[in-house]
């Protein structure tokens, strides 16, 4: 029977908080220079919604801006994020590599993320996650933009029959439940207790995954 672990990326395997502020600041510096933004960069607002689809991110951060400006901001933001990643300003969470290495000996591992393809690829290449990960799935491949549909795609394309979704936000937990998989919440930077309460299991260190048996 095919069993697998499906991981979220931001706030689960990768410490996005380390590159978030400089990349977002750089983006809003451009908006400020064009007279399209006044005041401080909305870092805290972004932290609150971290993990939601990108259109929702920019609708929330820049509700008064046109769709065109939001799209331009998003493109610039991703350029800045990737620069930070390539320059190794970010990091994997503690014990992430150890946990992935051990799990990959017994299960195929996949990433299902709301991040864009080039962003995810930059993380995978920089931290050599291809040693452990069998497939990388971006929300860009799903017309609906829903994490549940993305996880379903992973399941169908890889014949997964039993598995777990590991993530830090409600969309990850819901995606697990919608696809009859085990939901494992990680209590890291962006996690919120009211969302984690809906998970089947909550962990505070990725090595705890080594004690979980899929059946």
Environment class of 17 (CB within 10 Å of its CB; exposed 0-12, middle 13-18, buried 19+): middle
Query: What is the model's pTM?
Result: 0.90
Whether the Cβ atoms of residue 209 and residue 35 lie closer than 8 Å to each other: no
Of the residues 51, 70, 86, the one at which a domain ends: 86
Q: Please check whether residues 64 and 148 belong to one and the same domain.
A: no
Residues ≥6 apart with Cβ < 8 Å to 164: 5, 6, 176, 181, 182, 183, 184, 212, 214
For each of the chain's 215 residues, which pLDDT tens digit applies? 799 999 999 999 999 989 988 999 999 999 999 999 999 999 888 878 876 767 788 999 999 999 999 999 989 999 999 999 999 999 999 999 999 999 999 999 999 999 999 999 999 999 999 999 999 999 999 999 899 999 999 999 999 999 999 999 999 999 999 999 999 999 998 888 999 999 999 999 999 999 999 98
- Residue 34 to residues 29, 45, 55, 81, 161, Cα–Cα distance (Å): 9, 22, 21, 21, 51
Q: Please check whether residues 137 and 182 belong to one and the same domain.
A: yes
Q: Please check whether residues 33 and 110 belong to one and the same domain.
A: no
């Amino acid at each position: 029977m095919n069993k697998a672990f499906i991981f979220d990326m931001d706030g689960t395997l990768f410490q996005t908080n380390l590159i978030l502020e400089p990349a977002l600041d750089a983006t809003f510096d451009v908006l400020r220079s064009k007279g399209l933004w006044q005041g401080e960069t909305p870092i805290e607002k972004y932290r609150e919604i971290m993990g939601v689809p990108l259109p929702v991110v920019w609708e929330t951060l820049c509700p008064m801006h046109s769709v065109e400006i939001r799209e331009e901001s998003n493109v610039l933001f991703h350029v800045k994020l990737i620069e930070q990643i390539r320059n190794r300003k970010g990091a994997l969470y503690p014990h992430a590599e150890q946990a992935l290495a051990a799990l990959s000996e017994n299960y195929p591992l996949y990433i299902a993320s709301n991040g864009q393809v080039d962003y995810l690829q930059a993380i995978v290449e920089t931290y050599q996650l291809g040693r452990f990960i069998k497939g990388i799935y971006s929300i860009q491949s799903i017309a609906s933009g829903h994490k549940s549909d993305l996880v379903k795609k992973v399941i169908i394309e890889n014949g997964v029959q039993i598995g777990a979704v590991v993530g830090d936000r409600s969309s990850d937990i819901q995606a697990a439940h919608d696809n009859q998989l085990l939901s494992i919440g990680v209590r890291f930077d962006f996690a919120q207790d009211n969302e984690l309460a809906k998970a089947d299991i909550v962990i505070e260190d990725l090595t705890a995954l080594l004690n979980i048996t899929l059946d």
